[in-house]
Amino acid sequence: MSVTHEFPKDFWWGAATSGPQSEGRFHKAHRSVFDYWFDTEPAAFFDGIGPNVASNFYNDYRADIALMKQIGLNSVRTSIQWTRLIKDFETGETDPDGVRFYNNVIDEFVRQGIRPVLNLHHFDLPVELYEKYGGWASKHVVDLFALFAKRCFELFGDRVKDWVTFNEPMVVVEGEYLYEFHYPKLVDGKQACQVLYNLNLASAKAIAEFRKSTCAQLGGRIGIVLNLTPAYPRSDQPEDVAAAKFAEDYKNNSFLDPAVHGYFTKDLVDVLKTDGVLWESTTEEIELIAKNTVDFLGINYYQPFRAQRREIPYDDAQGWLPEKHFQQYHMPGCRMNPYRGWEIYPKAIYDIAIHVRDHLSNIPWYISENGMGVEGEERFRNADGFIEDDYRIDFIKEHLQWLHKAMQEGSNCFGYHLWTPIDCWSWSNAYKNRYGLIALDLVTQEKTIKKSGLWMHDVIQNHGF
């Protein structure tokens, strides 16, 4: 195969999943907010399917990792569930079965020559900490998270070199406190701002623990994974540009700037202060955030965000929401993934890469998630029994072409991870849309490599396509 898009020899080719979406709840001592939500409102989940079994990684991890190896993935991200590893959240006492399980998983990744990238939070707050303290709105929970992080570094830092504090903290803010798509489904803009700040603080506190750990002394690195939705204005009229600027500051820079530069975006702080919704912070906390920035960035890219000035006046009776300063623009004729309802715009990956190069000190970064969720993939299963997902191959190719161009132009990207290795459970969408390189039969739990998995195998072998 002749390669027109060549990537570095040490490029991370991999895929990402998470504990709550793959493991299943087997032997877990505590419930996360998602476990609790499913137990109390199963009808909120597509086809009434919750996280109880997921893709059965808890029992199948050896075979699953072998399939990942068969594709040739050299790195895989998953997450450690707080609710599985920790027995007592206040003291940080660990659960023996949780420790055994994650040790086995890590050892198996290492044995198979796959670099494990471990994330500490993937939307899976222990529900007890929400009930007792108000979850991420509480600074005590921030401290408990730092304790959990410390335990993880102590236990697994000898073998895991790449750590992530949070996956998509903005989704916690938006899903739980603004737009009601994650439990507890609140609409409370002021609290959302405090949670946004507390998550940044929690990430910095976990990084501070990491810096003290032997893992850091052994050359380990720590980063954060952010979902970036680059904000494009409807037009170049100043009001549309200003609307997009606020959306960019709120949705993206609110985590990017503290993570990379150690400070909050001044324009954002000014607006939140004027609006009376700025978070409560202390000088010590701000110093801690300044000192504990990330070593690398993971960027999840799925869709852009298109913004326009407000045409419908903002109704203050609903309290403060970021939409006070913009309206989402639904661009006519844009390319959509109809199953997920997300716009497909591959060029944004290039824009992100150039933004990292020019405004984020060209910090080392990788695409930590990108992918295409498709409903009803069984209809593409051929006579030989494997799924012909050419649309996924095209989707990945188009994104990689833009990424390649940005790397040629100097963006410091070191990898590409697809969401996801094996079809996994997608929150309230459960198993509606499939993303994997490997198909999961929900009834038999049989796992088979898709055409995209075979294609990815060749890309990895050839260092490009």
Give the binding site for ligand BGP (CB under 6 A): 18, 21, 167-168, 171, 227, 300, 340, 369, 373, 419, 426-427, 429, 433
From the CB of 56, what's the least distance to ligand BGP, in Å?
17
Query: Residue 403's CB: how many other CB atoms inside 10 A?
Result: 25
From the CB of 166, what's the least distance to ligand BGP, in Å?
10
Q: Which position's Cβ is nearest ligand BGP?
A: 426
Tell me how far apart the alpha carbons of residues 26 and 56 are, in angstroms, rounded to a whole number.
9
369 is an active site residue:
yes
From the CB of 304, what's the least distance to ligand BGP, in Å?
15
Residue found under tokens 């990744």: 109
From the CB of 294, what's the least distance to ligand BGP, in Å?
17
DSSP β-ladder status, 93-94 and 115-119: unpaired
Nearest residue to 213 (alpha-carbon basis) of 169, 263, 132, 158: 158
Nearest residue to 439 (alpha-carbon basis) of 344, 367, 374, 342: 374
As a residue count, the chain comes to 465
From the CB of 214, what's the least distance to ligand BGP, in Å?
29
Catalytically annotated residue among 23, 176, 248, 369: 369
Between 258 and 373, CB nearer to ligand BGP = 373
What are the CB-based long-range contacts (under 8 Å, 24+) for 204-207?
Answer: 204/258, 204/288, 204/289, 204/291, 204/292, 204/293, 205/142, 205/143, 205/145, 205/146, 205/149, 205/288, 205/292, 206/120, 206/145, 206/146, 206/149, 206/165, 207/165, 207/292, 207/293, 207/294
Tell me how far apart the alpha carbons of residues 155 and 175 are, in angstroms, rounded to a whole number.
31
From the CB of 292, what's the least distance to ligand BGP, in Å?
23
Residue found under tokens 């899976």: 124
Q: What Rg, from alpha-carbon coordinates, does the chain have? A: 21
Q: Please, which residues have CB within 8 angstroms of residue 290's CB and are 6 or more apart in sequence?
A: 262, 263
Write out the two tokens for 183. 């439990």
Q: Please, which residues have CB within 8 angstroms of residue 111's CB and are 6 or more apart in sequence?
A: none
Between 191 and 300, CB nearer to ligand BGP = 300
From the CB of 269, what's the least distance to ligand BGP, in Å?
26
From the CB of 20, what's the least distance to ligand BGP, in Å?
8
Between 325 and 340, CB nearer to ligand BGP = 340
Query: How many Å separate Cα 50 from the centre of its chain?
Result: 20
239 is an active site residue:
no
Catalytically annotated residue among 168, 174, 176, 209: 168
Tell me how far apart the alpha carbons of residues 279 and 138 are, in angstroms, rounded to a whole number.
12
Between 285 and 423, CB nearer to ligand BGP = 423
From the CB of 12, what's the least distance to ligand BGP, in Å?
17
Beta-ladder partners of 343: 336
Residues labelled as active-site residues: 168, 369
